[in-house]
Amino acid sequence: MLHRLSLKAVGGHADTFINGGVATKKTRKTKKMKLETERVSEQTVRETLIIIAIGFLLGRAVILFELLPFVIPFLAVILHWKRTYTLITALALIVGSTSVSFLFAGHTVVAILLYLVAQGFASSITNDKKFIPVTVFFSVTVARFIGLAIMEGVTLYHALTAFIEGGLAMVVTLIFIQSIPLILEKRKKIALKHEEIVCLVILLASLMTGTVGWLIFQLSVEQVVARYIVLVFAFVGGAAIGSTVGVVTGLILSLANVANLFYMSLLAFSGLLGGLLKEGKKISVAVGMIIATFLMGMYGDNQVSMQLSVFESLIAISLFLLTPKTWTTHLSKYIPGTVEHSQEQQQYLRKIRDVTAGKVEQFSNLFLSLSKSFSLLEASGEKSNQEREVDLFLSRVTEQTCQTCMKKHNCWTRKFSETYGLMEQLMREVEKDGEVTSRQLLTDWHHHCIIDERVVDAMKKELNQHNASKHLKQQLIESRRLVADQLKGVSKVMEDFAKDIQREKKEHEKQESEIMDALQQAGIEVEGVDVYSLETGSVDIEITLVSNFYNEGEKIVAPLLSDILDETIIVKHVESETLTGNEARITFGSTKAFIVREGIAHAAKGGRLVSGDSYSTMELGAGKYAVAISDGMGNGTRAHIESQETIGLLKNILRSGIEETVAIKSINSILSLRSEEEMFSTLDLAMIDLQEGFVKFLKVGSIPSYIKRGSDVKAVEAGNLPIGIIREMDVDVVTEQLKAGDLLIMMSDGIYEAPVVAENKDMWMKRIIREVQTEDPQEIADILMERVIRDSNNEIHDDMTVIVARLDHHLPKWSSIPAYEKKA
């Protein structure tokens, strides 16, 4: 009984726990929905209050004493942007107009009704917002003309007035379409266009027009607000933005009250001075406003009271100084050309760069994991597959022979080990020689099995199928190995690419200052210097020069930089900065320490047109120079196609950034898998480092190469089989250090193994290379080819190719010029 009660109690606690968990989830979901509802309601209240305030001020905005061009444009934008606020907007506009006069209120009501009817009719035809300015023009023009006709009669002047107000309203509509969303919506993009800034200023000035006539202690409210806005934009955007805001604000305020025309000059001058002094922070901008106020007051022909103007400026300055820094910083992010905007853009680009690099790195890891999985699959299954193949082969033989034998039970039950061992030995003999050659093994098998000859014949027949199956499996293994190597190479390329993406411009302010000072002391007009890298061998500097930039860049700036950086610098790229071509941005970079000049001699067997040899010399992007010769099997078209395919694959793989050894292994796998026929080719590859002078030889089935330094000749060779003979190969790499003036001689076997009377081919080749007196690579190649053909009784017994490469120091066109300062 107690046991049952305890189980019930436990069950009750479990139910409580489960129900409590469900209740907790529901509570969290309810709280989340409640917070979301509160956020939406707060945003709605904020938007409603902003729309009411804007509508009230624009309803009061009267220009030229009788025109209301801001009412219907604001209503049109709200109707198009958020239809739910239409009624509130209309009421706010009517209340604003009523605060001026009942006559303006009546005009506003008539214009609103006309616009709603016109827009409803237009919407029934099309929803394109391009027709909004047209309906605004129609409703404003008709409403004004009706009002003037009723009050004063129909005249041409009244028609012209109505037409002008309609045109102004249409233009204001286009401005409000761009500016009102800037206030009421959160910006997804962080930059404002210059047109958007002007539209925003016009909207603010239009709102200030609604405050015309408001006085506090005889001080004009619209003037205080206008000067405050000019101070803020001058501080944030500089002289250009500040003066523009001053001109636009003063112009619109002067339309509302002609007496304010004087203030346009004051606001524009204040914005200009404040923007020029913005580097001194808020105090300097405020000083600019005070100076402009006094100057315009002293020389303004007493159009306004200087005392009132000074007080208005002081109040605006006080509000400006009390403005939180976070507000101005946030506004700066939207103004092009500001430091905050640049930082925001850089942060955005950095984020995009990091995301891109992360994706590339993920793909790199994916390819590396796939490569490892293919390699592990091959390694784990190799040993077990051999044992399984033997079992399958013997089982197929026994199915054809032992299944019908009366002594099957005796052989495979009582004498299993002996039977299996003998059959395995028979299989090895047949697989090796095609016949069983061991008499002792035949005798033992004859005494053991009563159908011995039948079993041996079955083995011979089954062996053909076994070899075909083994060949297919080997091709599958090689395909896996090829895929693994390729995936590993792609992974390495993508890893390097991700690192290049994440590489940032380092801070080199001190070096930039030193370079600029040195160039200016040399009499060169420099607009700017940007240093991206100062690493030896990979210097990257951009300099903006004026006037005769190309000659100065090549003849003066590059030699000066060479002396400052203790490294040879040359012009990499020139890009014009202006349409007139007076300024240019020149990229300077490191030149290579060495250059390669090559000479090539080539001949086909018997003087034919098609040769089985193919060759290529190419400069790779990472400061490397590749020289390659491939000799296809045999002669003629088939050998030419094979060697050309090898060279083509090599060029494409090396240019993609994959390592040399991986490239050669990949080519070997591709060529061995591509055809069932025996098509082999040799490959002789030399990779020269043009910065350090090292050369790496990757010789696959090729004959030796030679390095000549003065009168010394050194042979370079490696023991690798030709490409396509074996499916799994290890490439031996031989590295040598070259010096300026060294000659690298590479040749095909047609040159090295020419039928000359020489017992030691290597000594003979060294001797004729040593006897060559010229240092020109092309002359050396021609002399070697001519000497070999002459010593072969003037016959070309095989395809012949010889490439001679000479390594020399790179000598710049202009020597370095001593600078006044060296880098620290």
Query: For 639-651, what is each residue's pLDDT tens digit?
Result: 788 778 778 878 8
The predicted pLDDT at position 776 comes to 92
Do 765 and 706 touch, CB atoms closer than 8 A?
A: yes
Q: Give the C-alpha separation, 64 to 795, whole Å.
A: 105
Structure tokens at 430: 């047949």
The tokens 């190419």 sit on which residue?
618
Residue 756: pLDDT over 60: yes
**DSSP-H helix ranges across 503-589:** 509-521, 549-552, 558-565
The predicted pLDDT at position 17 comes to 39
pLDDT band (50, 70, 90) for residue 781: very high
What H or E segment, with its residue span, contains residue 718?
none
pLDDT band (50, 70, 90) for residue 496: confident
What H or E segment, with its residue span, contains residue 436?
none
Burial of 69 (0-12, 13-18, 19+ CB in 10 A): buried
In whole angstroms, how far apart are CA 149 and each of 135, 142, 145, 771? 21, 10, 6, 113
Top mean pLDDT of 82-86, 505-509, 704-708 is at 704-708
The predicted pLDDT at position 5 comes to 37
Q: Give the C-alpha separation, 292 to 286, whole Å.
A: 10
Calculate Rg over the CA atoms of the chain.
45
Structure tokens at 255: 């339309």
Instruction: Lowest mean pLDDT of 49-63, 572-586, 621-635, name the range.
Output: 572-586
Structure tokens at 576: 């014009």
Residue 764: pLDDT over 70: yes
Question: What DSSP string runs through 134-159?
Answer: HHHHHHHHHHHHHHHHHHH---HHHH
pLDDT digits (tens, 9 = 90+) for 648-662: 878 877 777 677 777
pLDDT digits (tens, 9 = 90+) for 344-369: 666 776 777 777 777 777 877 777 77
Nearest partner of 814 among 552, 559, 524, 557, judged by Cα: 559
Residue 343: pLDDT over 80: no
For the entire predicted model, the pTM comes to 0.51
Q: Average the pLDDT over 740-766 and give the result.
A: 84
Do 494 and 363 touch, CB atoms closer than 8 A?
A: yes
Q: Average the pLDDT over 283-310 and give the result.
A: 76
pLDDT band (50, 70, 90) for residue 1: very low
Which residues are within 8 A (CB) of 136 and not within 5 positions of it... i.e. 6 or more apart?
72, 73, 76, 115, 166, 169, 170, 173
Q: Give the C-alpha separation, 805 to 163, whole Å.
A: 83
pLDDT band (50, 70, 90) for residue 802: very high
The tokens 């046991």 sit on which residue?
3
In angstroms, how far apart are the furthest CA atoms of the chain?
139
Q: What is the share, in percent, of the chain residues with pLDDT greater than 70?
A: 80
pLDDT digits (tens, 9 = 90+) for 606-621: 878 888 888 888 887 6
